[in-house]
Chain A
Amino acid sequence: MITAMTNRLQRYFILFIVLFIAIFILGCDKTPVGYDELGRDISNPVFIEFRSSSRYCYGKYIPLGTADYIVLGRNSEYESRVLIQFPLVDSALGQVTSAKLILYPKRHRNIGFSVHPIAKSSEWKENNATWIRMDEAVPWISDGGDFYPIDVKQQATVTSDSWVIELNRNKLDTLVNHSYGMILIPDSSDQDFATVYSKSNSNKSPKIVLQYSNITKTYLSMQDCHIIDTLNLNLLPLDLWVGAGFVFRTMCKFNLDTIPDNVTIAYAELVLPVQSHASISDTFDIAVSKILEPIYPNYPHQTRYADNISSKTQYLAATDTVVILDVRKIVQFWNKYNGENSQPDSNFGVLVSVYPENYEISRVQLKTGSIKPYLKIGYIMPPSRRY
Chain B
Amino acid sequence: MIARIKNQITQISILTIICVIVLSNLCNQFCFGQSFFSMRGFGEELLYTDATASSLGGLVGLGRVNPSFPLSLSKTTFSATVFSNFVYGQQSGNSRMIYDIRPVTLDGKFPLPYQLRVGIKLSELFNQNFNIYSDSIPFSGTWTRRHIIGQGGIYGLSVNVGKSLFKDKLALSFEYSKLLGQALESWYFEVLSGNSYITHDSVITTYSAHRLCFGAFANINYLSFGLVMEDILPGIINSKVISHSVVVDSVNGLTFNLPYGVGFGIVFDKFPKTKFMADFMYRNWEKATIADASIPSLRNSMKYSLAVEHWLTDKYPLRVGLRYYASYLSDHTGKGIDEFALSCGSSVPIPKFGSFAYSLEIIRRQGQEVKETIGRLNISLYYEEVWKKRTRRWGF
Q: Knowing A264-B244, A383-B241 touch, does A38 contact B15 (C-beta < 8 A)?
A: no
Binary contact track A27-70/B, C-beta < 8 Å → 1, others 0:
11111111111110010110100000000000000000000000
Q: Determine the residue in chain A with the shortest Cβ distance to B128.
A: A386
Q: Flag if A33 contacts B91 (CB, 8 Å).
A: yes
Task: Give chain B residues whose Cβ lies under 8 Å from the Cβ of A209.
Answer: none
Q: Is B88 an interface residue (CB 8 A)?
A: yes
Q: Flag if B241 contacts A378 (CB, 8 Å).
A: no
Q: Flag if A23 contacts B97 (CB, 8 Å).
A: yes
Q: Is A133 an interface residue (CB 8 A)?
A: no
Q: Is B249 an interface residue (CB 8 A)?
A: yes
Q: Flag if B146 contacts A26 (CB, 8 Å).
A: no
The listed residue with most B CB atoms (<10 A of its CB), out of A22, A45, A264, A386, is A386
Q: Is B246 an interface residue (CB 8 A)?
A: yes
Q: Determine the residue in chain B with the shortest Cβ distance to A9.
A: B11
Binary contact track B79-99/A, C-beta < 8 Å → 1, others 0:
000000010111100111111
Partner among A34, A45, A385 whose Cβ is within 8 Å of the Cβ of B370: A34
Q: Flag if A36 contacts B369 (CB, 8 Å).
A: yes
Q: Is B203 an interface residue (CB 8 A)?
A: yes
Q: Flag if B198 contacts A266 (CB, 8 Å).
A: yes
Shortest distance from the beta carbon of B33 to any chain A beta carbon, whole Å: 9
Query: In A234-274, which residues have CB < 8 Å from any B CB?
Result: 262-267
Among B129-137, B168-176, B223-231, B313-321, the stretch that binds chain A is B129-137
Q: Flag if B26 contacts A262 (CB, 8 Å).
A: no
Q: Flag if B201 contacts A264 (CB, 8 Å).
A: yes
Task: Give chain A residues whose Cβ lies under 8 Å from the Cβ of B19.
Answer: 16, 19
Q: Is B233 an interface residue (CB 8 A)?
A: no
Q: Flag if B140 contacts A376 (CB, 8 Å).
A: yes
Inter-chain CA distance A8–B18, complex, in Å, is: 16
Q: Flag if B148 contacts A38 (CB, 8 Å).
A: yes
Binary contact track B355-396/A, C-beta < 8 Å → 1, others 0:
000000000000101100000000000000000000000000
Task: Give chain B residues whose Cβ lies under 8 Å from the Cβ of A24.
Answer: 26, 30
Q: Flag if B23 contacts A23 (CB, 8 Å).
A: yes
Q: Is A387 an interface residue (CB 8 A)?
A: yes
Q: Is A5 an interface residue (CB 8 A)?
A: yes
Q: Is A336 an interface residue (CB 8 A)?
A: yes
Q: Flag if B132 contacts A26 (CB, 8 Å).
A: no
Q: Determine the residue in chain A with the shortest Cβ distance to B199.
A: A264
Task: Give chain B residues whose Cβ lies under 8 Å from the Cβ of A382.
Answer: 201, 241, 243, 248-249
Q: Flag if B248 contacts A385 (CB, 8 Å).
A: no
Q: Determine the residue in chain B with the shortest Cβ distance to A263.
A: B243
Task: Give chain B residues whose Cβ lies under 8 Å from the Cβ of A26.
Answer: 88, 95-97
Counting residue pairs across A and B whose Cβ atoms lie within 8 Å, the total is 167
Q: Determine the residue in chain B with the shortest Cβ distance to A30.
A: B133
Q: Is A158 an interface residue (CB 8 A)?
A: no
Q: Flag if A266 contacts B189 (CB, 8 Å).
A: yes
Q: Is the interface of B mostly helix, strand, loop or mixed?
A: strand
Q: Determine the residue in chain B with the shortest Cβ distance to A269.
A: B140
Partner among A22, A32, A42 whose Cβ is within 8 Å of the Cβ of B94: A32
Shortest distance from the beta carbon of A22 to any chain B beta carbon, whole Å: 8
Task: Give chain A residues whose Cβ lies under 8 Å from the Cβ of B134.
Answer: 32, 35, 42
Q: Is A296 an interface residue (CB 8 A)?
A: no
Q: Is B37 an interface residue (CB 8 A)?
A: yes
Q: Is B332 an interface residue (CB 8 A)?
A: yes
Task: Give chain A residues whose Cβ lies under 8 Å from the Cβ of B11.
Answer: 5, 8-9, 12
Partner among B132, B201, B246 whose Cβ is within 8 Å of the Cβ of A383: B201
Inter-chain CA distance A332–B246, complex, in Å, is: 11
Partner among A19, A39, A47, A267 whose Cβ is within 8 Å of the Cβ of B39: A39
Q: Is B264 an interface residue (CB 8 A)?
A: no
Query: In B276-315, which residues have CB < 8 Å from any A CB?
Result: 290-291, 297
Partner among A29, A36, A45 whose Cβ is within 8 Å of the Cβ of B137: A45
Task: Give chain A residues whose Cβ lies under 8 Å from the Cβ of B183.
Answer: 386
Binary contact track B1-33/A, C-beta < 8 Å → 1, others 0:
000000110010001001100110010001100
Query: In A308-367, which residues have CB < 8 Å from any B CB?
Result: 332, 336
Inter-chain CA distance A267–B196, complex, in Å, is: 13
Q: Flag if B135 contacts A383 (CB, 8 Å).
A: no
Partner among A8, A262, A387 whose Cβ is within 8 Å of the Cβ of B239: A387
Q: Is B256 an interface residue (CB 8 A)?
A: yes
Q: Flag if B89 contacts A34 (CB, 8 Å).
A: yes
Q: Is B205 an interface residue (CB 8 A)?
A: yes
Q: Knowing A23-B30, A383-B203 touch, does A37 contact B239 (C-beta < 8 A)?
A: no
Q: Flag if B246 contacts A384 (CB, 8 Å).
A: no
Q: Knowing A29-B97, A33-B96 touch, does A380 contact B148 (C-beta < 8 A)?
A: no
Task: Give chain A residues whose Cβ lies under 8 Å from the Cβ of B243.
Answer: 262-264, 382-383
Q: Flag if A39 contacts B133 (CB, 8 Å).
A: no
Inter-chain CA distance A5–B183, complex, in Å, is: 46
Shortest distance from the beta carbon of A17 to any chain B beta carbon, whole Å: 11
Q: Determine the residue in chain B with the shortest Cβ distance to A29.
A: B96
Partner among A12, A22, A265, A267 whose Cβ is within 8 Å of the Cβ of B15: A12
Partner among A5, A34, A267, A378 whose Cβ is within 8 Å of the Cβ of B36: A34
Q: Flag if A385 contacts B244 (CB, 8 Å).
A: no
Query: In B63-82, which residues have CB < 8 Å from any A CB?
Result: none
Task: Give chain B residues whose Cβ lies under 8 Å from the Cβ of A336.
Answer: 244, 246
Q: Knowing A264-B199, A387-B256 touch, does A34 contact B140 (C-beta < 8 A)?
A: no
The listed residue with most B CB atoms (<10 A of its CB), out of A35, A264, A265, A332, is A35
Shortest distance from the beta carbon of A387 to any chain B beta carbon, whole Å: 5
Q: Is B254 an interface residue (CB 8 A)?
A: yes
Task: Give chain A residues whose Cβ lies under 8 Å from the Cβ of B22.
Answer: 20
Interface positions of A (Cβ within 8 A of B): 5, 8-9, 12, 16, 19-20, 22-24, 26-39, 42, 44-45, 47, 262-267, 332, 336, 376, 378, 380, 382-387
Q: List 18 A-B contacts (CB under 8 A).
A: A33-B36, A33-B132, A33-B133, A36-B332, A37-B39, A37-B40, A37-B367, A38-B39, A38-B132, A42-B134, A42-B146, A265-B244, A382-B243, A383-B241, A386-B185, A386-B239, A387-B237, A387-B291
Interface positions of B (Cβ within 8 A of A): 7-8, 11, 15, 18-19, 22-23, 26, 30-31, 36-37, 39-40, 86, 88-91, 94-99, 130, 132-135, 137, 139-140, 144-148, 183, 185, 187, 189, 198-199, 201, 203, 205, 237, 239-241, 243-244, 246, 248-249, 251, 254, 256, 290-291, 297, 331-332, 367, 369-370
Additional pairs, 17, CB under 8 Å, beyond known A262-B243, A267-B139: A12-B15, A16-B19, A23-B23, A27-B31, A27-B99, A29-B95, A32-B145, A34-B96, A36-B91, A36-B369, A37-B36, A38-B39, A45-B139, A378-B139, A382-B201, A384-B249, A385-B251
